[in-house]
Amino acid sequence: MSKNAKIAAGGVAAGLFLLIWLPWWAAFLIIVGVPAAAYLTLDPSQRRRLRRVTRKELGR
């Protein structure tokens, strides 16, 4: 199992755990809010690099 697959599996497990133990709206806020907050903490050059890499991986 690759490193990215392990991270994805852990994210899915954490999401399911949150959905079971918290109300659905609280789990949704955590699942959406944590990546959004992490993106907003990047400085503009890091955001540009992240968007460029994402577009390249999509084959654009």
Residue 55 in this model has a pLDDT that exceeds 70: no
Whole-number pLDDT of residue 27: 81
Residue 57 in this model has a pLDDT that exceeds 70: no
Question: What is the rounded CA–CA span in Å between residue 55 and residue 57?
Answer: 5
Question: What is the rounded CA–CA span in Å between residue 4 and residue 24?
Answer: 26
Span 3-42, pLDDT tens digits: 888 988 998 898 888 888 888 888 888 888 988 999 999 9
Question: What is the rounded CA–CA span in Å between residue 42 and residue 6?
Answer: 24
Residue 45 in this model has a pLDDT that exceeds 90: yes
Whole-number pLDDT of residue 1: 78
Token pair of 48 as six digits: 């540009």
Burial 20-33 (b: 16+ CB within 10 A, else e): eeeeeeebeeeeee
